[in-house]
Chains A and B, each alone.
Chain A
Amino acid sequence: MSSLLPFLIGEAFRDLKRAGRVAVSAVLLITLSLAALGAFWVLSLNLGRAVAQWRDRLRVVVYLREEPPTGAVEGLLRKVEAVGGIQRLRYVSKAEALQTLRRQLGGQASVLEQLSANPLPSSVEVTPVSDASTPEGTRALIQRLSALVEVEEVQGGTEWVERLAQWQRLLQGIGLGVGAVLALAAILTVTTATTLVLHVRREEMEIMRLVGASEMVIRVPLFLQGLAQGLLGAAVAVGGLYLAYMLALPTVEPLLSLTLGLPRATFFSPTEMALLLSGGGLLGACGGLLAKGRSESGRQS
């Protein structure tokens, strides 16, 4: 068994200890950058689910000018379906609409007794095929439906869903922007920590080169200590986010279901957590390798 690997890992930890406070601040910065990125990510993840859910449930309601005679309903439905992009459709008669309203009013239903005639129009509830439930698809569908002579008005509640989708994109953008700036700062700090290590380590590296250590052996501990800083920062970030998520859940979840109709909030999947962790590792390793480049240029012969 070669002594090399345990030695290299040991050297990396020795280096971390020597970088001391700078290494600690590097870890903190990595934590901050990944926590910022992760927080926006979780938010946008949940918003994204809401958007997807609402797109899925999207209904377009086609209000008719006048109630068709019973025999003509079939033909009308076929005519509506012929505009294309429709998955399902259902005819709602004036009577059914009134009944639904009565049910919704519950105790207040008696107000309806005052009405001399049924004021509600008959309608067709249309569920677009999932391809057509994009903003553009829905808009086109609404246009096609509005063009039918029997149609008084078409209501498709896509707008607020799209606004939600915009918010989600904005959150993603902010998250990426803030995350990127902090990540840059993190890389620089790891580089500083590693440069410090290099400085303290100059004697070791000199001896290593003198006795014939390969460049790989000289570099690996630097890479490893950067990697360790990154992984540690990422782990703390994910842990912190999870804690915040658990603490906020009791307050946030009812709010979410009330406003967005999301029954549950979700955290990162294992894959997404792994992605964050490797992101941290990558940041740290980059910092470690960058510092190496600087030191080496001083020693070419």
Chain B
Amino acid sequence: MIQLHRVWKVYRVGPVRVTALADVSFSIEKGEFTVLAGPSGSGKTTLLRLLYRDDLPTEGEIQVAGYEVTSLRRSKIPQLRRAVGVVFQDAKLLPARSVYENVAFVLRVLGAPRREITPRVMQTLKAVGLSAKAQALPAQLSLGEQQRAALARALVKEPALLLADEPTGNLDEAISEEILDLLKEIWNRGTTILLATHRATLADQLKRRTIVLDGGRLLEDEP
């Protein structure tokens, strides 16, 4: 599902060069649940952004969901993005639209048949436990509920891979737990998941394969 081969990412900020990723190689199979761990600034977000082609590596090759990301033509980027769901620390919901509309938005921009939209949105909202809040505006939701809505939005197009960048970063312990349980459920239904977190405890507690970054280098990769 994911392969990185000798990937480097060097940012240039004026005259200064920041090495965010240094010679990183690993691969993740279809159906895995992998944790990407490491302290703040270790390059986790940078790595995820390379995976959904938000940015290009300075060097190295990346394959995601069958796409050669590093040599992907600009016009093919949407196809890659359709195969990859992404959630962030903040939910990034559209504030003027209901939960339902936020999720339906994805199917509409992707041109899904009209009669498929409601069933698919409601099914996805049910899967993240938000059926009752379909008509609520994002501001009327708790942070945990907002993150569920963001997950529904990422999942409604049925991506093969879900990238989660610190999805529990804004949440307290108990709510984080719920979101992690939800991720596990999603994984159980067959979605490959890569979860980035700086919380070492969280990585331990998940008992899943953990890839650790430190200063942009792959520190360890343990099953």
- A residues touching B (Cβ–Cβ < 8 Å)? 1-4, 6-7, 203-204, 206-215, 217, 301
- In the assembled complex, how far is the CB of residue A248 from the closest CB belonging to chain B, in whole angstroms? 47
Q: Return chain A residues, CB-CB under 8 Å to B75.
A: 215
Closest 3 CB pairs of A and B: A212-B81, A212-B82, A213-B109
Interface residue? B178 (CB, 8 A): no
A3 touches B117 (CB 8 A): yes
Interface size counted on chain B using CB atoms at 8 A: 31
Report if B220 contacts A (CB, 8 A): no
Contact of A208 among B83, B109, B113 (CB under 8 A): B109
Of B52, B92, B110, B115, the most chain A CB neighbours within 10 A belong to B110
Q: How far is the CB of A175 from chain B (nearest CB, A)?
A: 43
Decide yes or no: A203 and B82 within 8 Å by CB, A7-B109, A301-B54 being known contacts: no
Known: A2-B114, A7-B108, A301-B54. A209 touches B94 (CB 8 A): no
Judged by DSSP, the binding face of A is helix
CB atoms of A211 and B92 under 8 A apart: no
CB distance from A262 to the nearest CB of B (A): 56
Jot down 29 A-B pairs with beta carbons below 8 A, ordered by A: A1-B113, A2-B113, A2-B114, A3-B107, A3-B108, A3-B111, A3-B112, A3-B113, A7-B108, A203-B92, A203-B95, A204-B94, A206-B92, A207-B106, A207-B153, A210-B52, A210-B81, A210-B86, A212-B77, A212-B78, A212-B81, A212-B82, A212-B83, A212-B110, A212-B157, A214-B78, A215-B78, A217-B109, A301-B55
Contacts of A3 in B (CB 8 A): 107-108, 111-114, 117
B104 nearest CB across to chain A (Å): 9
A3-B107, A211-B157, A217-B109 given; 4 more Cβ-contact pairs under 8 Å: A2-B112, A3-B112, A204-B105, A211-B109
B80 at interface, CB cutoff 8 A: yes
Chain A proximity mask over B36-68: 1 for CB below 8 Å, otherwise 0: 000000000000000010111000000000000
Question: Which residue of chain A is the closest to B116 with respect to CB atoms?
Answer: A3
| Contact A212/B79 with A1-B114, A3-B107, A217-B109 known, Cβ cut-off 8 Å | yes
Bound complex: CA of A204 vs CA of B81, how far in Å? 15
Q: Which residues of B92-128 have CB atoms within 8 Å of chain A's CB atoms?
A: 92, 94-95, 105-115, 117
Interfacial chain A residues near B77, Cβ < 8 Å: 212
What residues make up the interface of B, taking CB atoms closer than 8 Å to A? 52, 54-56, 75, 77-83, 86, 92, 94-95, 105-115, 117, 153-154, 157
Chain A residues lying within 8 Å of B112, measured Cβ to Cβ, are 2-3
- Complex Cα distance, B82 from A190, in Å, reads 33
In the bound complex, residues from chain A placing their C-beta under 8 Å from that of B83 are 212
Shortest CB distance B74–A (Å): 9
Which of chain B's residues have a CB closer than 8 A to the CB of A213? 78, 109-110
Q: What separation, in Å, do the CA atoms of A212 and B111 have in the docked complex?
A: 11
Kindly state the separation between the CA atoms of A209 and B105 in the bound complex, as whole angstroms: 12
Give every chain B residue within 8 A of A211 (Cβ-Cβ).
Answer: 81-82, 106, 109-110, 153-154, 157
Chain B: CB-nearest residue to A208: B109
A112 nearest CB across to chain B (Å): 89
- Asked if A207 and B55 make an inter-chain contact with CB atoms under 8 angstroms apart, the answer reads no
Checking B86, B92, B111 against A4 with a beta-carbon cut-off of 8 angstroms, the contacting residue is: B111
Given contacts A203-B92, A207-B105, A211-B106, contact A217 B81 (CB under 8 A): no
Considering the complex, give the chain A residue whose CB is closest to the CB of B82: A212
